[in-house]
Amino acid sequence: MARDSLAELYTEPFAAEREWTVEDIPVLTASVAVPRPVPAADRVSRRIHRYYQLQCRSYLRYCERWLLPQAEAAYREALETSAPLPCLRAELKYQVTYNRGGLWSLYTQSRETAVSGPSLLTRRGDTWDLNGGYPVELSAFFPPRGGWKKRLLALAAEEIQRQERAGVSRYREDWRQALRRRFNAQNYYLTAEGLTFFFPMFSIAPAAEGVPVFTLPYGTDPLRLPEGFEAGTE
């Protein structure tokens, strides 16, 4: 094992806030919370720290370049129609979902509150190899040529059918085709129960369902952790 390898990663939130105004009136606020390793005394922790600092800055730039023009347009329209002045909100948060045996996994999720309509949720999953300090690809959790994508899509289809029969969730009529089209191998993270993969909001279900998630439990063929890593619940 490398000198800088870690069995677990300890972090605390790094928070940032911004407010943008038009004619001294707030039209857009943004809040960000990303993980910060403590202490960032080794090579792996410093690399992860730089990665999420970059994500923080990138998200604030996105808010300024893309959301601020929308917020200003909504403000101008409200002035013209004598409507209440809107203030759009954007936030980026994170949730650590797995931290043991040399693997650290989490998701970050942004929420954009629009003037009208549902809030837009955008989720991103990350799983890190703490031995080397690099992201782990989804394929690493399955044997070569193991048909893992087909297995994950079948699991999602079974769960969707179960939820619809129980009346607890509703999906698009074309969800079977959308599952294949919108599957992205980067959209996953680990939990104590298993490997969780997800689909973008609106991609396979109405807005009310948020971000659809599905979990393949540990011990389910062909799921496996890479050699040298540890599974199990806390």
Q: Indicate whether 110 and 209 sit together in one domain.
A: no
Q: Looking at the domain assignment, is residue 61 inside a domain?
A: yes
> Average pLDDT, stretch 217-230?
80
> Average pLDDT, stretch 106-134?
91
* pLDDT of 183: 98
* pLDDT of 114: 74
Per the CB < 8 A criterion, the answer to whether 194 and 223 are in contact is yes
CATH of the domain at 63: 3.30.565.40
Statement: residue 232 has pLDDT above 70 = no
Q: Indicate whether 149 and 127 sit together in one domain.
A: no
7's tokens: 């069995």
Return the number of other C-beta atoms located less than 10 Å from residue 9's C-beta: 21
Q: Indicate whether 73 and 181 sit together in one domain.
A: no
> ∠ CA(23), CA(25), CA(31), 5° rounding?
125
> Average pLDDT, stretch 28-45?
94
Q: Indicate whether 157 and 73 sit together in one domain.
A: no
Statement: residue 2 has pLDDT above 70 = no
Q: Considering its fold, how many domains does the chain have in total?
A: 2
Question: What is the Cα–Cα distance from 71 to 203, expressed in whole angstroms?
Answer: 25
* pLDDT of 40: 82
Who contacts 111 (Cβ-Cβ below 8 Å, separation ≥6)?
Answer: 89, 90, 91, 93, 119, 120, 121
Q: Indicate whether 124 and 147 sit together in one domain.
A: no
Q: Indicate whether 91 and 147 sit together in one domain.
A: no
Of the chain, the percentage scoring pLDDT greater than 70 comes to 93
CATH of the domain at 194: 3.90.640.20
Per the CB < 8 A criterion, the answer to whether 129 and 47 are in contact is no
Domain C-terminal end among 90, 107, 135 = 135
Q: Indicate whether 32 and 114 sit together in one domain.
A: yes
